[in-house]
Structure 1
Amino acid sequence: MPSKKILIILSDADSFPLKKTSGQDAGKTVAQPSGFFLMELAKPLQKLLDAGHEITFASPKGQEPVPDPTSESLAAFAGNFYERRRENELLERMKRENGFNRPRTLQSISDEELPSFAGVFIPGGHAPLRDLGDDKEVGRVLRFFHQENKPTAAICHGPYALLSTKQAGDGSFVYKGYKITSWSDAEEKVMETVLGGEVKKVESALRNEGAEMVEGAAEKIGQTTLHRELLTGGNPMAADELGNRFVRMISV
C-alpha cells in the first residue's frame, strides 16, 4: 500500500465541564480532569503506522495533548501491564519523531493543503466535549472531508466533534441522516454515577441534530458503524476494529 497522509485531530483540553450533583460542590460546574483516551488513540494509530502511512497531529490551538487519567490505569487495560507500556511507548516515540507534543494548529492547515490528506481521525476521551464540538476550524476540516467523500473516523466522545460542522460553511450539520455510533447516553449515565455529576451526552446531542444513532449491545462490545465516508465506534473496545476498517478505507 502506498504511503498516504492522515490527519489526527486532538483536543487541547485537559478537562471537561462536570455539573456536580452531590458532595460539597453540588450545583457547581467543575473542571473534571480528562484528555485523549490512550487506547482509542494508540490502537488505530499503530495500525496506520504499520500500514506505512504518514501522520500529522493537529488541534485547535496546537497545545500539547494530555491523556485522560482513567485511560492510563491498569484497569483500563484489564490488568495488561505490557499492553499499556506498548501504547505509552508508542506515544513517546511520536513525541520524538512526529511532533505529537507540538501538534499543528488547524488554522495552519490551509484549504490548499487539505487535499493532501487521505483521511482524518478523531480519538475519544471526554476532552472533545470541551473544545471540538463548536470549533470553526474543526468544522472547516470536517466539511472538506465530507464534501470530498474522504475517510473520516471518530470513536467514543470523538464524534462530538462532528457538531462543529455547524460552525462553518452554511451552518448546517452535514452528518444529518448519517448512521453514527458514539459513547452512549447509557454509558455516560454510569460515568455520572461514578463522578457524581452531569455530563454532556454525545448520543443525544448528535441525535438532536438529525443523526441516526446506532447503539445497543453490539456497540457495547466494540461494533463499529460505517455510513458513506464516516466510520464511528462507541467505546475503547471498538478501537481495534475501527483501526482495521479505517486502514482498509484508506487503501481503496
Structure 2
Amino acid sequence: MPQKKILIVLSDANSFPLKKPSGPSNESKIVDQPSGFFLMELAKPLSKLLDAGHEITFASPKGQEPKPDPNSESLLAFAGNFYERRRENDLLERMKRENGFSTPRKLSSISDEEVQSFAGVFIPGGHAPLSDLGDDKELGRILGYFHRENKPTAAICHGPYALLSTKASGGEFAYKGYKITCWSNAEEKVMESMLGGEVEKVETALMNAGAEMVEGVGEKVGCTTLHRELLTGGNPMAAEELGSRFVRMISV
C-alpha cells in the first residue's frame, strides 16, 4: 500500500467539566475531572495505520502535550492484560521519540493547502474532547474540507463530539443526517454514577445537531458505523475494528 499522510487530532485538555451537587441546598458546581485521550482508542488504530506504512501527523488546538486519561492506563481498562498495556504505552513512547507526539502541530498551522495533502483524519476518544474540540473553529475548518471532499474521517467514543466544530467554522453542522455511533447516554450515565456528577452527553449533543444516532447492542460490543466518508465507534471495544476499517478506507 502506498504511504499516505494521516492527521490525528487530539485534545489539549487534561480534564473535563463535571457538574457535582454541592452544599445542603443541593446546588451544583462545576469541577475539573481529570481526563485526556483514552489509551487504547488511540493506540490500536494508530498501530494499524503505522503497520500499513502511513505517515502520522499529530495536531491539537494549542499544540500542547497530550495527556492520557488516568482510567485508560489502569489494568482494569485492559482486562488485566499487562502485556497489552505495555505494548500500547511503548508505542506512544516511540511516537514521542519519532513523530513529535509530545509537541503536536497547532491546528491553525495547518493551512488550507496543506490539509489537502492528508488522506484521512482520526479523532480518538476519552472525555477530554468535551473541553476543547467541539467548538474549535480551526478543527471545523479542517473537518469541513474532509467532509466536502468525501475523504476518510474516523472518530471513536467521545471523539465524535469534535464533529460539532463544523458549526463553529461554518454555522451549520456538516454531518446533519449522518448515521453516527458514539459513547452513548446509557454508558455515560454509568460513568456519572461512578464520578458522582453530570457529564455533557455526546449522543444528545450530536442528535440535537441533526445526526441520526446508532445505538444498541452492537454499539456496546464494539461494532462501528460507516456513513459516506465518516466512520465512528462507540467505546474502547470498537478500537480494533475501527482501526482496520479506517485503513481499508484509506487504501481505496
Aligned 8 A contact 1:8 1:120 in 2: yes
RMSD of Structure 2 on Structure 1 (CA): 1.1
Structure 2 gap ranges (5+): none
Deviation at 1:21, TM superposition (A): 2.9
Q: 1:23 to 1:194 in 2, by over 3 A?
A: farther
1:99 to 2:100 alignment: yes
Match of 1:248 in 2: 248
1:187 to 2:180 alignment: no
Q: Match of 1:88, as an amino acid?
A: N
Deviation at 1:220, TM superposition (A): 0.2
Mapped partners of 2:86, 2:49: distance in 1: 19
Q: Match of 1:6, as an amino acid?
A: I
Q: Match of 2:125, as an amino acid?
A: G
Deviation at 1:22, TM superposition (A): 6.4
Deviation at 1:81, TM superposition (A): 0.2
Match of 2:199 in 1: 199
Match of 1:4 in 2: 4
| 1:104-143 → structure 2 map (5 Å cutoff) | 104-143=105-144
Match of 1:81 in 2: 82
Structure 1 gap ranges (5+): none
Matched length: 251
Deviations 1:158-185 (A, max 9, x none): 000000000113x100100000000000
Q: 1:101 to 1:228 in 2, by over 3 A?
A: same
Aligned 8 A contact 2:22 2:29 in 1: no
Match of 2:228 in 1: 228
**TM-score normalised by length of structure 1:** 0.98
Deviation at 1:15, TM superposition (A): 0.1
Mapped partners of 2:132, 2:8: distance in 1: 15
Deviations 1:180-239 (A, max 9, x none): 000000000000000000000000000001100000010000000000000000000000
Q: 1:74 to 1:47 in 2, by over 3 A?
A: same
Deviations 1:103-159 (A, max 9, x none): 000000000101100000000000000000000001000000000000000000000
Mapped partners of 1:228, 1:64: distance in 2: 32
Mapped partners of 1:251, 1:23: distance in 2: 56
Deviation at 1:75, TM superposition (A): 0.1
Out of 25-34 and 233-242, give the one that drifted further: 25-34
Mapped partners of 2:28, 2:181: distance in 1: 31
Mapped partners of 2:243, 2:53: distance in 1: 14
1:16 to 2:19 alignment: no
Match of 1:65 in 2: 66
Partner-residue secondary structure (3-state), 2:210:
coil
1:177 to 2:177 alignment: yes
Deviation at 1:27, TM superposition (A): 1.4
**TM-score normalised by length of structure 2:** 0.98
1:211 to 2:207 alignment: no
Q: Match of 2:132, as an amino acid?
A: D
Mapped partners of 1:37, 1:47: distance in 2: 17
Partner-residue secondary structure (3-state), 1:29:
strand
Q: Match of 2:189, as an amino acid?
A: K
Deviation at 1:26, TM superposition (A): 6.0
Mapped partners of 2:125, 2:69: distance in 1: 9
Mapped partners of 2:88, 2:102: distance in 1: 15
1:160 to 2:130 alignment: no
Aligned 8 A contact 1:21 1:198 in 2: no
Aligned 8 A contact 1:22 1:197 in 2: no
Mapped partners of 1:21, 1:188: distance in 2: 17
Mapped partners of 1:118, 1:21: distance in 2: 45
Mapped partners of 1:115, 1:26: distance in 2: 49
Q: 1:27 to 1:6 in 2, by over 3 A?
A: same
Q: 1:73 to 1:23 in 2, by over 3 A?
A: farther
Mapped partners of 1:29, 1:113: distance in 2: 39
